[in-house]
Amino acid sequence: MRSLLILLLMADFANASEVGKVHPDRLENLVRQDCGACHGMTRKGGLGPDIRAQTLAGRDPAILAEIIKNGIPKTAMPPWGPLLSDAEIDWIAQYLLKEPTE
């Protein structure tokens, strides 16, 4: 009985550590392609506003993460919470703030 429990816990842990794990290359690509579809490849704006690091400077990363997670209701900004883990969303928020683009 106890070994079964341990097995279940291990299986759970294995899943948790794979799903939603931060892979910087994959996320950088997602920002360029998926966010870029609306915000522009260099994030200087398109359908969505300019979200370059130099423009977002001084913004609270936790608030940006919240916007990315939930989207902005009644606008084209979609919620990414269903697709990305909190760790991935936090990574993106930090990335937007620290990687300036042309």
Indicate which single residue of 12, 34, 86, 99 sits in contact with ligand HEC (rule: CB under 6 A): 34
Q: What are the strands, taking DSSP E only, across the chain? A: none
The rounded distance, in Å, linking the Cα atoms of 98 and 48 is 19
CB 44 within 8 A of CB 52: yes
Is 39 among the residues that bind ligand HEC (CB under 6 A)?
yes
Give 20's DSSP letter.
Answer: T
- Compute the least distance from the CB of residue 28 to ligand HEC, in Å: 11
Is 47 among the residues that bind ligand HEC (CB under 6 A)?
yes
| Residues lying near ligand HEC in the complex (CB under 6 A) | 34-35, 37-39, 47-49, 51, 64, 67-68, 72, 75-78, 80, 92
